[in-house]
Every structure is written in structure tokens, then in C-alpha cells.
Amino acid sequence: MVRRCALPAILAAVVGFSLVAVAPAQAERRSLSGIVEIAEAGAPGLALTMLNEHQPSAAGAPVAWERWERTRIEILIAEGAWERALARLGDPPAAASPEFRRWALERSAEMHLRRDDAPQALTALRRLLWDGDTDFEGQDYRYWRQLVVRAYLADERTDDAVTAMRRFDVDHPGAGDDWIGLRARVLLRAGRAEEALEALPDDAAPGETAALHGLARLASGAAPPEEIITEVEAALGDDDLDRADRARLYALMRRAASASATVQRYAMATERAFHAGPALPGDDRLFLVEADDVWRAWLAWGRQLGNEEQLLVGEDGVWFAAADGVLPEYPARARALLSVVALQGGEDAGVAHEHLVELLLEGPGAGMTRRLYMESGRFPEVTAIPDRVRYRLVDEALARDDVRFARELVRDLDAAPDDRDPFDWRLLRARVLVLGGDPAGGADALDALVDDAIPLSPDDLDRILQVLFDLQGAREHERARALLERLGEQEVEGQRRRELLYWRAESEQALGQHRRAAELYMRSATLLDGRGGDRWGQTARYHAAGQLAEMGLVNDARRIYRTLLAATDDPGRRSQLRNRLQQLELQDAGPEDLPFERGLEAD
């Protein structure tokens, strides 16, 4: 139902467009075709930057601006930056044409529906339908009215959806296949299964319409549940089914299994429908299976299995033994048994959750595991998720580089898991907080760790420094500087102390403390031999010279650069140093600067 407008389609519409009055090479570089190719090749941020630089102004070239803007919106949507896309769609410039404004409202309505925000979708659609220039016989108008019906369904306003459907039928008879499916959804949601069955074709190919037809037959009593289950099992054997259609079929099987009181099949179909569910549009409530549906299905099946084995709820050990006994042949059955202990067991509920997560990660996968815990009403807050589960989910999130999700999980997990060294865990937690977007929280965690761990071994110091570098990368230089100063108070000798001085200098430099930075760089350079003639010392002195120049000690900087120039034969480094010296020729010396002795100059 949603009009999909992929980047290649946008490219086809604008491929002939280029800026006027620019050289051919510039036109090629700035053309929309090149920008779209860059986005599709994996650099959408660069593509958007190029759009920002080269998009014509709306006031000066409105038609061209609209072509570029449509491309921008499609790139944002393709990359999931929906908030940014909606912000631009909601505020077109005054020069935008009525056609562009209508397109923007239509895209806004579609995106709000995909985000399951029906009220906002209806707001955009009302503006479209009340536009004085609307063509009431056009395809766009009919499509907008269908979107209104979808929005009413998504907003649980079934009676309004039925009314809008009836009016559409009168105004636009024979509207097409998309309307047939949407119409059937309205009737099924309204409890009019017989009417929905009459509206649907009997010979639909496997897909959405066939799933709707099966649901209408089941709900109307036109086919017994076992017949529907048999048909679904046959349809699922089609390897060409896309994931959304597979999700609908599993949801249909779940309905049929529920009607036939087949608990095992119901639980397995519920699990599989939930697993495939992310492929469905956000407003597809008819085939929606939620996290709590899975927990309830597992619990019902698990309790049935327990009754068959005469297991008593609360005696956790026998349930664990029963789950182990069906592995590895029947992991779904083991998940059901473990769910009883996890949700209704005694002291070992957390252990059951941990085992359940291991089975989920081995089977359905990480995505379903996250959704079961993060989307369930049983765990309304992250803190309600058992710690054992959170520890496991942290490891899984970091394995796929999802540091922001890991940050949410570790925020209050101060204590280490039983199988993890406390220092290792606390250091990992600090790093996750820093890299996950909470550098202040990470700095607090690192502060507390340093408090408890001093004096540090050389290995522990190295590992803490790695997190401090992340803290500097997050521009938390105040906190990094304070931590580095504390670490420097330890008995640290030789090269390690040089390194601490150098990293402190970096933070001072970032904070604009040029004198302090220059001093620390020079101390780092000269600590071992008083001269700083080795490679480390040369690098530190080079940076010190830059800070000296910033504070007006131009001749001090020149002296250091000249000394470094005399000490190197590397052509690239010599060129870099000469450039620095030339730049200093244009800079005025400060009042504290001493005269530069020409005799000290090096060739």
C-alpha cells in the first residue's frame, strides 16, 4: 500500500538534470546521479553533504530545488533517518510548488503510518484532502483516501474505518487489488468475516491476499482449523515467499492452532510469527504478534508439558532436568519448559532466564532475543530485566558493535557477573558508557574504578589508558585531564610517565591551555635524557612548538623546529618543518618572546 520510491527511481527522474553555467567536470561531480551513487555505495552522509553544498536555492530555481530535495528525502528515508526527513517535509520553503507540497504531505503520512503514528498521519492526510486544488477523480486522491482508512485501523478506530470504506466503495467502485486487500482488513477487524470472504478472490497466489483469505475462512467458519493449518504448512514450503508473507502465514497458523486447542503448534507458530514480524509494516495489526504473546504461549505449553511429566512449579531442578532432557532435538520444547521456571519459578528464575537466552541466541537469534525482553510488558524498564540476561545481552550487543544498546543495559550494572573479573567488568562498563554516548557516566565509572584499584599494575594502567583515550575522543577533556593527573601521582617510571605527560598535554591543548600543554609536551620529551632527541621526544617537542607559537613564543617555536629540522633526513618531515617555519615568519612575537639568533638557523 505504501508508495515506495527507491533511490534508482528518483535517479531516473532527475538523471538529465545538471547545474547551469558550470564546467562539465563540475557538473558531473555535482550531478544528482553521482550523489545517488555515492549514497548507494555506502556513504549517505557524504551524499547529503554534497547536496547541502550544491543544491540550488528554492527561490532562485524552484523546479531544480525540488528535484534535489526529493533525492535528499529518499536518501534520509532509505537510511532510517525518519525524524530528519519528517522535519524537512514539514517545512518546505515558500517557493515550493503546490505539487511538491502535496508530495511532501503524502510522504509524511506514509512515514507516520510506518512509525505507527496514526494521529500524525491523519493530520497530514486531512491537509491533503482539504486542499482547494485537489483532483477528486485523480489517482492521488483515491490513494490518500485509502491511507485514511489505514490510519483509522492503525488508530483502533474501526467504526470510522468502516464508514470511510463504505464511502470509498460508493465513490470509487472497482478500485483495484490494493483496495481489495485493505477492504478485507477493515471487514475482518470489524468482525465481518463473511463479508470479507466474499470480497476476496478464492484463487489468490501465495502472499498477503491469500493470508487474508485464509483468515476470513477461519474466522467465518468456512474452513476448520486443521484445514487452514494444512494449507499454511504447504504454503510455507514455497522458498520464494518473502519474510512479510511468511510472518502472515505463521500468524494465521497461530490463529488456527488456537482455535483447534493445539498448544504445541500454537506456541511454535507464535514464536515463528514473532520472529518474522519485523518484516511487516508497522500498521499491520491484523497479523501482529507481540513479545507478550510469545511469553504466554511458551508458558501455556510449558505448563502442559510439566503436567504430562508431573512436575511441580517451584521445584526448579526437575524443570531444568526436563529441559536438558529434550535437548538438542527439541529446543522449542526446552524454551517452553524454561519459561515456566523463568516466570513462575523460585530462586533459580534468573538462571532459567540465562539458559533461555542461550537457547534463543543459538536458535531464533539475537534480534528476537532483544525484542522478547525489550518489548515485553513483563519488563517495563531495562532494570526489570534480570541481571543475568542483561550481562548476556551486553556481550551480544558488543559482538555486533551496537554500543548504544549495550550502554542502556550496563547503565546501572555496577557489579560484575559471577564469571567475570570485577576489574575487567567495570572497565568494560566504563568504556561502553563512553563510546555509547554517555561520556560523563563513563568518566564517573572510571573515577570509581581508579579509586578502588590504585596502586595499578602496569597492565591495568595500560587498559585504563585505552578508555581514557576514548574519553578524550569524546571531548571530555576536563575529566580526562583530572584522571590523568591522578594516574600521574602514582610511582610510574620511564617511558610510561612520558606517555602520561603526553596525554595530559593533549587534553590541555584541547582545552586551550597552551602554556600548560607546551610545558607537559616538553617534560614528556626530555624526561629520560634531558634533551628529547629520540623519536618520542622529537614528536613531543614538535607539538610543544605548536603550543608555544599559540601563546606568542614564536622564537621558542622556531628554535625547536630548527633543531628538529637539523636532526632529520626524512624528506616529508623536513618539508613539514619548513612549512611551519615559513608560517612563523608571518606571526608576531609576544612580549615574553626572546630574540631569535640567526646563527642558530639550520639549512
**Residue-wise DSSP of 116-178:** T-HHHHHHHHHHHHT-TT--TTSHHHHHHHHHHHHHHHHTT-HHHHHHHHHHHHHHSSS--HH
Q: Per-residue DSSP letters for 506-519?
A: HHHHHTT-HHHHHH
Measured in degrees and rounded to the nearest 5, phi and psi for residue 335 equal -60, -40
**How confident is the model at residue 15, as a pLDDT?**
42
Decide which of 277 and 27 is more confident: 277
Helix (H) or strand (E) holding 361: helix 349-362
- Residue 176: all three cell numbers together: 483495484
Amino acid 184 reads A
DSSP secondary structure letter of residue 385: S
* Residue-level pLDDT at 2: 44
Cell numbers that stand for 66 in this block: 525540488
pLDDT at 17: 39
CA distance 179 to 89: 27
What is the predicted pLDDT for the residue at 134?
67
C-alpha cell read off for 163? 464508514
Side-chain half-sphere CA neighbours of 341 within 13 A: 24
Where does 200-312 have alpha helices with state H? 208-220, 225-235, 243-259, 263-276, 291-308
Provide the grid cell at 337. 519448559
- Distance from first CA to last CA of the chain, Å, rounded? 74
25-29, 255-259, 434-438: segment of lowest average pLDDT: 25-29
For the chain, what is the radius of gyration of the CA atoms?
A: 33
Residue with cell 502442559: 304
* pTM for this predicted structure: 0.81
pLDDT category at 275 given cuts 50, 70, 90 is: very high
Over residues 541-565, the mean pLDDT reads: 92
Specify the pLDDT at position 456: 86
Please report where in the chains the cell 534480534 appears, as a residue: 367
Map out the domains of the chain as residue ranges. Answer: 186-289, 292-413, 493-603
For residues 452-478, b (16+ Cβ closer than 10 Å) or e, as one string? ebeebeeebbebbbebbebbbebebbe
What does the pLDDT average to over 193-222? 92
Burial of 84 (0-12, 13-18, 19+ CB in 10 A): middle
Average pLDDT over residues 351-360: 96
CB crowding 168-194: b at 16 or more within 10 Å, else e: beeeeeebeeebbbbbbbbbbbbebbe
b/e string for 147-158 if b means 16 or more Cβ within 10 A? bbbbbbbbbeee
**Range scoring the smallest mean pLDDT among 9-18, 135-144, 221-230:** 9-18
pLDDT in the model for residue 594: 74
pLDDT at 30 (0 to 100): 53
SS3 362: helix
pLDDT-derived band of residue 595, with 50, 70 and 90 as boundaries? confident
Confidence of residue 588 (pLDDT cuts 50, 70, 90): confident
Tell me the Ramachandran region of residue 206: left when phi exceeds 0, alpha when psi lies from -120 to 50, beta otherwise.
beta
DSSP, res 597: P
Q: Report the SS3 class of residue 64.
A: helix
Selected residue with higher pLDDT from 282 and 344:
344
Going by pLDDT thresholds of 50, 70 and 90, the confidence category of residue 493 is: confident
8 Å CB contact between 75 and 48:
yes
**Residue 13: pLDDT band by 50, 70, 90 thresholds?**
very low
CATH class of 493-603: mainly alpha
pLDDT(312) > 80: yes
